[in-house]
């Protein structure tokens, strides 16, 4: 590496981080002042939760795969910190880049901050107000030890100011997931529709993986009861997260209607956006999928009690239905009768990746 190039280490580990990092990595590759090394913690490791995103989205092969795998919060985060520290001490990066709110984010952030390495957080400032969510703890801690806070929305910016973060550390970038949706939309793998025998606009797409739903038998049962009921009216396609698969198996879940409640394995990003573009509506507890519903003009039933993406709820594009069967069915009927007219641009102009790289350049050459 040329001695005057800056070195950025990017920490990723979970599915949504591969998608977010794909956007910024593409821009970093185009810049002549920087070398990026990707560090994969191994939090997600099944090929359909990890490798497929690197190959399909052309993400640089990680320089390190720490192969930490699954575990309790303390074990997983602790093992990650130990392994990440070794990498940082060896590589001596100028900057560490972390994304979102997973345990990989927190581990990378804490190690960088304690080694006094410049730390940049992409998708900063989001808050649900619910500290029982592991993600909320990860976000708050990461934001408060970061030097550069890239916020996707003005609400996120306000949240940081409210918590006393320095105004000068906050940069409005817009949302990197919007960049991804725009860039990959024309490359979507629509074959999945014919493979599953689905007609455009005639199915509901669902995803469920949040701990608050999977780890509560009552919530999980209520959500699946609602999906089974909806399957009497519309085909339901559910690409199942491995966490949810494990917990359903533990509960001896039997699919009451496999013909119309189609539970499949996790799909690739290009398959996922094909499903999102072509479905009638979405039901999800995913943060990323709520935004993609908006990017592709699909109403969204959110299977949570609160959301970080409040602007979508305020605009009437997204309804919070908790894990409440009646509320889920009511939201479905509402959206089937009143399809919202999608307007506005809540998440920037699709140039978040470029803005982030420009700001990093300015900060690291100040």
Which residues does the annotation mark as catalytic? 209
Residue placing its CB nearer to ligand UDP in the complex, 41 or 268: 268
Instruction: Single out the residue of 135, 175, 179, 212 in contact with ligand UD1 (rule: CB under 6 A).
Output: 135
> Of 9-17, 83-91, 293-301, 305-313, which part binds ligand UD1 (CB under 6 A)?
9-17
Please list the helix, strand and coil fractions of the chain in percent, rounded to the nearest 5, in that order.
45, 15, 35
Minimum gap (Å) between residue 255 Cβ and ligand UDP: 17
Residue placing its CB nearer to ligand UD1 in the complex, 258 or 265: 265
**Contact between 46 and ligand UD1 per CB under 6 A:** yes
Minimum gap (Å) between residue 72 Cβ and ligand UDP: 19
Q: Assign residue 270 a region: left if phi > 0, alpha if psi is -120 to 50, beta otherwise? A: alpha
Rounded to whole angstroms, the Cα distance separating 195 from 98 reads 36
Residue placing its CB nearer to ligand UDP in the complex, 87 or 272: 272
Minimum gap (Å) between residue 174 Cβ and ligand UD1: 21
Instruction: Single out the residue of 6, 79, 139, 209 in contact with ligand UD1 (rule: CB under 6 A).
Output: 209
101-132 per-residue burial string, b: 16 or more CB within 10 A, e: under 16? bbbbbbbbbbbbbeeebbbbbbbbbbbbeeee
Which tokens belong to 242? 């491995």
**Contact between 43 and ligand UD1 per CB under 6 A:** yes
**Contact between 213 and ligand UD1 per CB under 6 A:** no
Q: Write out the residues near ligand UDP by the rule CB under 6 A.
A: 15-16, 19, 207, 209, 239, 266-269, 272, 286-289, 292
Choose the contact partner of 239 out of ligand UD1, ligand UDP, none; CB within 5 to 8 A by kind: ligand UDP
Minimum gap (Å) between residue 75 Cβ and ligand UD1: 10
Choose the contact partner of 70 out of ligand UD1, ligand UDP, none; CB within 5 to 8 A by kind: ligand UD1
Which tokens belong to 238? 């559910």
> Of 86-94, 101-109, 341-349, 358-366, which part binds ligand UD1 (CB under 6 A)?
101-109
In the three-class reduction of DSSP (H, G, I as helix; E, B as strand; rest coil), residue 283 is classed as: strand
Residues ≥6 apart with Cβ < 8 Å to 313: 302, 307, 319, 320
**Contact between 16 and ligand UD1 per CB under 6 A:** yes
Residues ≥6 apart with Cβ < 8 Å to 98: 10, 11, 104, 105, 108, 109, 112, 119, 120, 121, 122, 142, 146
Instruction: Single out the residue of 134, 297, 316, 340 in contact with ligand UD1 (rule: CB under 6 A).
Output: 134
In the three-class reduction of DSSP (H, G, I as helix; E, B as strand; rest coil), residue 333 is classed as: helix
- Give the binding-site size for ligand UD1 (rule: CB under 6 A): 18
Choose the contact partner of 207 out of ligand UD1, ligand UDP, none; CB within 5 to 8 A by kind: ligand UDP
Strands 148-151 and 34-40, by their bridges, are unpaired
In the three-class reduction of DSSP (H, G, I as helix; E, B as strand; rest coil), residue 33 is classed as: coil
Rounded to whole angstroms, the Cα distance separating 200 from 222 reads 27
In the three-class reduction of DSSP (H, G, I as helix; E, B as strand; rest coil), residue 12 is classed as: strand
Choose the contact partner of 24 out of ligand UDP, ligand UD1, none; CB within 5 to 8 A by kind: none
Q: How many CB atoms lie within 10 A of CB 170?
A: 21
Minimum gap (Å) between residue 229 Cβ and ligand UDP: 23
Rounded to whole angstroms, the Cα distance separating 9 from 95 reads 6
Instruction: Single out the residue of 60, 63, 78, 242 in contact with ligand UD1 (rule: CB under 6 A).
Output: 242
Q: Are 5 and 334 in contact (CB under 8 A)?
A: no
Choose the contact partner of 275 out of ligand UD1, ligand UDP, none; CB within 5 to 8 A by kind: none
Sites of contact with ligand UD1 (CB under 6 A): 14-16, 43-46, 49, 70, 101-103, 134-135, 209, 242-243, 246
């Amino acid at each position: 590496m040329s001695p005057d190039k800056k070195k950025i280490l990017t920490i990723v580990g979970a599915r949504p981080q591969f998608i977010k990092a794909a956007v910024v990595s593409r821009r970093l590759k185009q810049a002549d002042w920087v070398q990026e090394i990707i560090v994969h913690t191994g939090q997600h490791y099944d090929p359909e939760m990890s490798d497929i995103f690197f190959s399909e989205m052309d993400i640089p092969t990680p320089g390190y795969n720490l192969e930490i795998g699954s575990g309790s919060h303390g074990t997983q985060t602790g093992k990650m910190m130990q392994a990440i520290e070794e990498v940082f001490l060896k590589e001596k990066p100028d900057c560490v880049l972390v994304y979102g709110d997973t345990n990989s984010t927190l581990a990378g952030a804490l190690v960088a901050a304690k080694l006094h390495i410049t730390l940049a957080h992409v998708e900063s400032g989001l808050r649900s107000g619910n500290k029982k969510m592991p993600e909320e703890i990860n976000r708050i801690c990461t934001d408060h030890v970061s030097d550069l806070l890239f916020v996707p929305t003005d609400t996120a910016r306000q949240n940081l100011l409210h918590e006393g973060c320095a105004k000068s550390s906050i940069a409005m970038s817009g949302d990197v997931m919007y960049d991804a949706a725009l860039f990959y939309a024309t490359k979507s793998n629509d074959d999945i529709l014919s493979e599953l025998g689905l007609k455009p606009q005639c199915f509901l797409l669902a995803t469920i993986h949040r701990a608050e739903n999977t780890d509560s038998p009552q919530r999980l049962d209520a959500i699946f009861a609602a999906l089974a009921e909806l399957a009497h009216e519309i085909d339901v396609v559910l690409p199942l997260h491995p966490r949810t698969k494990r917990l359903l198996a533990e509960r001896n879940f039997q699919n009451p209607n496999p013909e119309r409640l189609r539970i499949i394995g996790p799909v690739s990003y290009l398959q996922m956006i094909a499903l999102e573009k072509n479905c009638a509506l979405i039901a999800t507890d995913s943060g990323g999928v709520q935004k993609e519903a908006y990017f592709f003009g699909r109403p969204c039933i959110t299977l949570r009690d609160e959301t970080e993406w409040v602007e979508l709820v305020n605009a009437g594009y997204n309804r919070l239905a908790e894990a409440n069967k009646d509320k889920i069915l009511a939201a479905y009927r509402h959206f089937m009768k009143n399809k919202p007219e999608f307007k506005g641009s809540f998440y920037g102009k699709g140039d978040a990746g470029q803005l982030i790289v420009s700001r990093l350049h300015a900060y690291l050459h100040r």
